Amino acid sequence: MRIFTLSALFALLSAAGASAQVSYGGQPTKWNNKNQNDFGVRYYKTPAIDLQALAAEDAVTDQYKETPYRFGVEHTVSLDFFTHADTETDKYGNTIYRMGLHCPGAVNMSLLFDQFYLPKSSKLFVYTADRTDFIGSFDHRTNNESGIMPMSLLYADRIVVEFQKAATCTDAAVLNIAQIVHGYRPVVNKWEGPQTENDRGPYGTSGPCNINVNCPQGDLWQTEKRAVALILSGGSAQCTGALVNNTANDGTPYFLTANHCLGNPTNWVFVFNHETAGCTGNTGPTNQTVSGSSLKANNAGSDFALLELNQTPPANYNVHYAGWDNTDALSVTSAVGIHHPAGDLKKICFENNSPTKTTQGGAAVWYINQWESGVTEGGSSGSPLFDQNHRIIGQLYGGFAACSGNVNNGQADWYGRFGISWNGNSAATRLKDWLDPGNTGATIINGFPSAITAANDASIGNIANVPASICGASITPSVTVTNQGSATLTSGTINYTLNGIAGTPIPWTGNLAQFASQVVVLPTLTAANGSNTLIITFSNPNGVTDENTGNNSTQVTFNAVTIPTVNYVLNLTLDDYGTETTWTLKNSATQQTLYSGGPYEDDMDQTLVSQTFCLANGCYIFTILDEYGDGICCQYGNGSYTILDNTNASVGSGGNFTNSQSVNFCVTAIAVEEMALNSGLTLYPNPAGAYLNIEKTSAEAVIVRMLNPLGQEIQTERMAEGYGILRIDTRILSKGIYFVEITSATAKVVKKVVVE
């Protein structure tokens, strides 16, 4: 069995500069001054290490895949950054703190903060003393609940930690260094040492029978490979895992690996796209990392662990969220593993036969009798096993498979079964609560986006022209048809149901090459008042059965207001940190969310966002939230919000709050009878000066009552049948808001008037 120590892994980074970890721009001060002594940084020096003794230990342990690949010595420390740092103040009043760390003779260095909190208007960088490479900036968006932050590796024996605190920053940072890793040998270059080529492969630290994922054998797996990442912590490289999709298809960064890999995942660093560009390369990028994660669920019964990364991998990482099959069915005809053996570049292996079910060490597993091509090693544990449909069915538990020279040894491997991991006694011991958040009951889903390739495979999605809330009953939706199959798509059938009532099937014809799309407009549909669900499906691609039914249906739920309404408007002015701002508008009685917005982009101070609300009779609650807890005004930009009613008067405003602020208001919409009466009335000017004129063109006689804000009557007049103008003297009134109530025999209208 592949048994691992729980020393769990740390940061691995090539000289990729500021792009090395998820960062937020900028550079260290005096970055262009390459003299390492130009500002007299003091260095904390770690003890010397015994390279001869380490080499002797490695000569033994490197022969066994059961041991992690050690590249560094971990020094445990407790260093308060601000106690050890030197300070200076720049010409703008900003304070710069710097602390140096020195590991004599190190090939590379990294560190771990066990207390990490950065306030707004502050930045942190870590860089080599010769100013050739840096990581950062990190700011308050890097903070996480654990307070633990591992930093990626830099290739130097002296590094500097620099904290920049703006003059306007009043909050205190907390930074404590708990570990310094002295790297004494490289991680990603061609193996150097006493081993022979048969002991270590020509493409890095793994055996020579491994296959780089970008060799021709991996051509059909270029999408799935983007889900797989190497896990690192401390001075070791040990396990592998993969991002997994969920039924919401929302990109939540869930990460599947093995239970036996677990140490402290808050300290882990996840390295994506660590692979050679071709088939025979021996180096690859290590500059796309995410630091830290939290454990969501795990179970030794199938040896799985599900994590959520602390940050979503940025778009430029181009990651994939792998699909899965939880049926645990014996319909698997072949399997593929993608992994990082011994912390090496990404590899791929192939089982051309059907895996079978068994138990191993008390765990329910898939049994791989032997790999036809490629192999796994120590460090591969936790890596995904894909079925012939490119969906995850397990993660590597252990085995005896290994290289024997340039070929594999023909031994077996075991993978914990995804179908067993799906169910458990609680959310903490099973997958379904996390990967099926809507409790849809799905048993098979594709990756995000879909990676299945078949001859006849049409997908449907991206319903447009259906807002989350609409005024009126009519919608004219459109939907996107995409050819995911290798055969040209020329025909099919679109079916749809609105609230369970089926519409007339729509025959579709076209000429779509693989991955080409076409937008199809559906007939105009009539919605019901309240919540509506529209489901659209595509079937019979090219007149045959679709070979991949997992992407044939899409749906949208929306709210329609078909009764009389009025329009209210939200005017939201953003602050500097739009990513922290979200809001909702709910019906107070039902708590249904009718409208929502955010998060927005950062650095958009004073940008105006407007949203129109179409509201029927009833009461509503608007809530604005700030994730950081400092509102949207005034320290980090002059943000604010105002809600205007249908007369352009404010019903609520603000901006200076902490975590959230709410506005409650009620709406009196116009009934059908009121609309007829309203169409024959004009009030002007509004705001009123000396006089308010009420012009009536309707045939009915009306009673006009002037009311103060408390509803108390100030004046009552009667207007006869037919056309007429009533002039009300407003000079005797105080400035403010008043109401004019106009009543006929069949209806009543209330209009708001401002007296200036």
Examine residue 203 and state whether it is found in any structural domain, yes or no.
no
Q: What is the CATH number of the domain that holds 526?
A: 2.60.40.10
Q: For residues 574 and 499, state if they share a domain.
A: no
**Among 67-76, 538-547, 641-650, where is mean pLDDT lowest?**
67-76
pLDDT of residue 563: 76
Q: For residues 71 and 171, state if they share a domain.
A: yes
Structure tokens belonging to residue 350: 């192939």
Q: For residues 89 and 159, state if they share a domain.
A: yes
Strand partners, 459: 482
Q: Which of 183, 202, 237 is the last residue of a domain?
A: 183
Task: Say whether pLDDT at 126 is over 70.
Answer: yes
- Residue 517 a catalytic site member: no
Span 515-541, average pLDDT: 89
What confidence tier does 678 reach under pLDDT thresholds 50, 70, 90? low
462: region left, alpha or beta (phi > 0 left; psi from -120 to 50 alpha): left
pLDDT of residue 77: 96
Examine residue 696 and state whether it is found in any structural domain, yes or no.
yes
pLDDT tens-digit readout, 109-124: 989 999 999 999 999 9
Q: For residues 531 and 634, state if they share a domain.
A: no
Strand partners, 403: 408
Examine residue 719 and state whether it is found in any structural domain, yes or no.
yes
What confidence tier does 514 reach under pLDDT thresholds 50, 70, 90? confident
In the block, which residue shows the tokens 């609520």? 652
Examine residue 446 and state whether it is found in any structural domain, yes or no.
no
Most confident of 183-192, 367-376, 406-415, 613-622: 367-376
Span 592-611, average pLDDT: 87
Task: Say whether pLDDT at 195 is over 80.
Answer: no
Q: Which residues of 465-501 are buried (b: 16+ CB within 10 A; e: fewer)?
A: ebeebbbebebebebebbbbbebebeebebbbebeee
Examine residue 605 and state whether it is found in any structural domain, yes or no.
yes
Considering 121, 291, 380, 381, which one is annotated as catalytic?
381
Span 338-365, average pLDDT: 90
Q: Strand pairing of 174-183 and 72-80?
A: antiparallel
Examine residue 576 and state whether it is found in any structural domain, yes or no.
yes
Q: Which of 372, 406, 435 is the last residue of a domain?
A: 435
pLDDT tens-digit readout, 696-709: 887 788 888 888 76
pLDDT of residue 35: 61
Q: What is the CATH number of the domain that holds 371?
A: 2.40.10.10
Distance of CA 414 to the CA centre of its chain: 32
What confidence tier does 19 reach under pLDDT thresholds 50, 70, 90? very low
Span 655-660, average pLDDT: 94
Q: Are 69 and 342 in contact (CB under 8 A)?
A: yes
How large is the C-alpha radius of gyration of the chain?
32
Q: Which of 533, 558, 583 is the last residue of a domain?
A: 558
Distance of CA 594 to the CA centre of its chain: 23
Among candidates 504, 710, 602, which has minimal Cα distance to 140?
602
Q: For residues 423 and 285, state if they share a domain.
A: yes
Among candidates 1, 40, 520, which has minimal Cα distance to 303?
1
User: What totals of helices (H) and strands (E) does the chain contain, helices first?
Assistant: 5, 58
pLDDT of residue 3: 28
Total tally of structural domains belonging to the chain: 5
pLDDT of residue 60: 79
Q: Please tell me the distance from the alpha carbon of residue 567 to that of residue 614, in angstroms, as a whole number.
A: 5
Question: Which residue range(s) make up the domain with 626?
Answer: 566-667
pLDDT of residue 672: 44
What confidence tier does 305 reach under pLDDT thresholds 50, 70, 90? very high
* Percent of the chain scoring above 70 in pLDDT: 89
**226 vs 698, which has greater pLDDT?**
226
pLDDT of residue 67: 56
Q: For residues 341 and 410, state if they share a domain.
A: yes
Give ∠ CA 213-216-222 in degrees, rounded to 5.
50
Q: For residues 336 and 296, state if they share a domain.
A: yes
3-state secondary structure labels for all residues of 273-326: CCCCCCCCCCCCCCCCEEECEEEEEEECCCCEEEEEECCCCCHHHCCCEECEEC
752: region left, alpha or beta (phi > 0 left; psi from -120 to 50 alpha): beta
- Residue 303 a catalytic site member: yes
Q: For residues 176 and 217, state if they share a domain.
A: no
Span 99-106, average pLDDT: 95
Q: What is the CATH number of the domain that holds 574?
A: 2.60.60
pLDDT of residue 229: 95
* Interacting residues of 181 by C-beta distance below 8 A, sequence separation 6+: 10, 11, 72, 73, 74, 75, 109, 110, 111, 112, 153, 234, 235
Q: For residues 464 and 525, state if they share a domain.
A: yes
pLDDT of residue 39: 64
What is the number of other CB atoms lying within 10 angstroms of the CB of residue 263?
A: 19
Q: Are 632 and 599 in contact (CB under 8 A)?
A: no
Q: Please tell me the distance from the alpha carbon of residue 582 to that of residue 194, in angstroms, as a whole number.
A: 58
**510 vs 400, which has greater pLDDT?**
510
Span 38-63, average pLDDT: 84
What are the backbone dihedrals phi and psi of residue 217, each rounded to the nearest 5 degrees, phi first?
A: -60, -25
pLDDT of residue 6: 26
Considering 260, 320, 339, 340, which one is annotated as catalytic?
260
**379 vs 430, which has greater pLDDT?**
430
pLDDT tens-digit readout, 314-338: 888 999 999 999 999 888 989 999 9
pLDDT tens-digit readout, 394-429: 999 988 888 887 888 889 999 999 999 999 889 999
**44 vs 464, which has greater pLDDT?**
44
Q: Please tell me the distance from the alpha carbon of residue 133 to that of residue 82, in angstroms, as a whole number.
A: 23
pLDDT of residue 677: 60
Span 567-595, average pLDDT: 90
pLDDT of residue 16: 31
What are the backbone dihedrals phi and psi of residue 429, each rounded to the nearest 5 degrees, phi first?
A: -125, 15
Mean model confidence pLDDT for the chain:
85
pLDDT tens-digit readout, 355-387: 999 888 778 999 999 999 999 987 888 999 999
Examine residue 205 and state whether it is found in any structural domain, yes or no.
no
Among candidates 689, 686, 684, 685, which has minimal Cα distance to 756?
689
Examine residue 662 and state whether it is found in any structural domain, yes or no.
yes
Considering 114, 139, 157, 303, which one is annotated as catalytic?
303
Q: For residues 401 and 540, state if they share a domain.
A: no
pLDDT of residue 583: 95
pLDDT tens-digit readout, 437-473: 988 888 888 888 755 567 898 888 768 888 878 888 8
Task: Say whether pLDDT at 571 is over 80.
Answer: yes
Q: For residues 416 and 274, state if they share a domain.
A: yes
566 class by beta-carbon count within 10 Å (0-12 exposed, 13-18 middle, 19+ buried): middle
Structure tokens belonging to residue 561: 């207001």
**205 vs 439, which has greater pLDDT?**
439
Q: Is 218 helix (H, G, I), strand (E, B) or coil?
A: helix
Say which amino acid occupies 469.
Answer: S
- Residue 381 a catalytic site member: yes
Q: For residues 373 and 257, state if they share a domain.
A: yes
